[in-house]
Structures are given as C-alpha cells and as structure tokens.
Amino acid sequence: MNRVIKSGNGWRIGWNPSAPLFKGLVGTDNWAVELTEAELDDFCRLSAQLANTMEQLASELMDEEKIACEAESDLVWMEVAGYPDNYSLRFILNSGRCVEGEFAATAVSGLLQAASMLKVF
C-alpha cells in the first residue's frame, strides 16, 4: 500500500506504511504532527468512540445544551466539546512529545469519515 493523505476544509490525515517510525499524520491547514502507528490507531479509535458517544447523547440533551466528553489511552487523550451534531475535537499525545492539537467543529465530520477509511484497502 502506498502513502495516503486525505484532506478537507480544516483537516488532514495521512498514512505511510513504509515510514520507519512515524507512519501517521494529523493536522489542519496551519499545523500537522506525525504519529506512530499505535498513536494513529488510538487517535482513530478514540475519535470514533467519542463521535458515537455524542450521537447517543443527542436524545438526552436539550437543543441549546452543550457537552464535553473525554477518552484516553496510554498514548492519546482526546476531548470533544460542543453540541452533539457540531463539536470540536482536541487531542494531546501522552508519549512525551508534548503535542496538542485541535480541530474546529466545521472540520470534525470530514476528519472522522476519513479516519474511518484511512487504512481500508
């Protein structure tokens, strides 16, 4: 499989299986960070879990009610915040590299869709 980079309005995500250490990439139009395969896998898994949680909570909240949810692995901490159908996504790498990033609410839907299909071949 060759290197894949997917991008949209305010987001990008990539996968390079032949890279020696940092096989993944996440970022926006203004910044990007390379991730190990394990970090990328956790990023994709946790972001999908959080999206699912927001979807499930939608019926429990009033229309004007915002919420924040967190998920964490040994490698990545993530948070979604906003309305169940319009929320931002933040992450911090727990691997000692001191990396923090955030995706605007307008970018999250496209990013989540691309992340779910990144390694499908």
Mean predicted lDDT score pLDDT of the chain: 92
Is the dihedral angle over the CA atoms 57, 60, 65, 67 positive or is it negative? negative
List pLDDT tens digits, range 91-107: 999 988 889 999 999 99
| pLDDT, mean of residues 48-70 | 85
Is the dihedral angle over the CA atoms 50, 55, 57, 61 positive or is it negative? positive
| pLDDT, mean of residues 57-80 | 88
Per the listing, tokens 């924040």 go with 68
Residue 1: pLDDT band by 50, 70, 90 thresholds?
Answer: low
